[in-house]
Amino acid sequence: MSPNRSFTRIFVVLALAICAPGFAAALDQTQPTPQIVTARIKLDDLSMIIVPVSINGSGPYDFMLDTGCSKSIVDKRLADQLGLSRVSGKTVVGMLASAQMSVVHADSLSVAGATVGGGDILSTDHLATISNMARGVLGEDFLRNFDVLIDYRHQVIRLESALGPMAETAVGERLPLQLTATYHEKLTYNRLVICGHIREFGDATLSVLLDSGANRLTLFRDDLGPGENQAEPIRAGSFNRWVTSSAATRRIRSLDLGTNSVPDLTVIALSRRADVDSDGLIPTSFFHSVFISHFGRFVILNPSFPKTGRDAPATFAAR
């Protein structure tokens, strides 16, 4: 992958990752869903997840699945096509910049029959910068209503509407999950924060956002210490007017998350130009599968599941 495309994706995630407090409330689940639903996903050339999403019963349309984005987003052209009513205009606050977007109302969002209804989502005409395949971004305001298995190896996502068989049978270390964080001394919501360590940075605990919309390990700090490479400019396509920044890089031996270790990584440093609600981002694509239990408030990286029936996820070997 080219560095420019990589940095473009990182910036878009950062620009949209934190929404203003008015966007904190999740969509309300308004109808029964199957206990576990399964949807096929596609991966683009940067391992971004494309998932089929229906809006108000229309579709499905290709959306990018972004666990690091607290609010779902729809392409303005699609919002106009579906006649989604415009509620207001809002400034969306991100980690490096802010952007003006519209707020539109959707009666329902659904994935393979798992439905969440009655809420406001964002609308923008810059989605091509996020993914050429996507008509929108499916964020944590939707996902928080389910326990979620993201399976890169078999290219499926599974959604469970309560604490049930997936959480009960998932095998692996259960890392505590924080669903809120702090931004400008106020709580942020719809976050997936876990704790880890990087040996090169000492014993300090790092809070990292588990982010399916990122493709590089990213830390929000001014420098990476000894071994840091020369800073490279971030090029953000249509978002250039919102950001002027650069990123330094450094190789590290591993990122440790509980007893899980992701070895031999390149980390990117983005200067703390504004307060952020975590120490960094870790891509979910570092793992062959990730189980996120919003109801149990834990995450299992590279989980395995016993073969208990046709609805049980496949068994995975450790990476």
Residuewise pLDDT in 10s, the chain (319 residues): 334 444 444 444 444 444 433 333 444 444 444 479 999 999 887 788 999 999 999 989 999 999 988 889 899 999 999 999 888 665 555 555 556 778 899 999 999 999 998 788 888 876 655 556 689 999 999 999 999 999 999 999 999 998 889 999 999 999 999 998 776 677 777 889 999 999 888 888 999 999 998 888 888 887 787 777 766 655 444 344 444 456 788 889 999 999 999 999 988 887 655 567 788 889 999 999 999 999 999 999 999 998 754 333 433 333 3
The pLDDT score that the predictor gives to residue 271 is 67
What secondary structure does DSSP assign to 274-294, as a single string?
Answer: S--SSSEEEEGGGSSEEEEET
CA 271 to chain centre: 21
* 190 contacts 70 by C-beta, under 8 angstroms: yes
- Selection from 140, 123, 136 nearest residue 52 by Cα: 136
Closest CA to 188 of 277, 274, 255, 80: 277
Q: How many CA atoms lie within 13 A of 59 on its CB side?
A: 24
Contact 64, 213 (CB under 8 A): yes
Q: What are phi and psi of 307, to 5 degrees?
A: -85, 95
DSSP class of residue 238 equals G
Q: How far apart are CA 252 and CA 234, in angstroms?
A: 21
Helix, strand, or coil (residue 243): coil
3-169 with 175-301: one CATH topology?
A: yes
Q: CB–CB of 71/87 below 8 Å?
A: no
CATH topology of domain 3-169: Cathepsin D, subunit A; domain 1 (2.40.70)
Q: From CA 266, how far away is CA 283, in angstroms rounded?
A: 12
User: Are 126 and 238 spatial neighbours (Cβ–Cβ below 8 Å)?
Assistant: yes
Amino acid found at 75: D
Walk across the sheet containing 232-233 and list its strands: 193-196, 206-211, 280-283, 217-219, 260-270, 246-257, 232-233
| Number of residues that make up the chain | 319
Report helix, strand or coil for 7: helix
- Would you put residue 36 in left (φ > 0), alpha (ψ -120 to 50) or beta? beta
* The pLDDT value given to residue 232: 61
State how far Cα 269 lies from the chain centre: 19
Distance of CA 163 to the CA centre of its chain: 21
Is the bond into 306 cis (omega within 30 degrees of 0)?
A: no
Catalogue the E-assigned strands of 86-126.
86-93, 98-111, 114-124
pLDDT of residue 23: 30
**CB–CB of 268/220 below 8 Å?**
no
pLDDT value, residue 45: 77
Domain boundaries, the chain: 3-169, 175-301
CATH superfamily of 175-301: Acid Proteases (2.40.70.10)
Neighbour count for residue 145 (Cβ, 10 Å) = 22
Which is it for the CA torsion 28, 36, 163, 136, positive or negative? Answer: negative
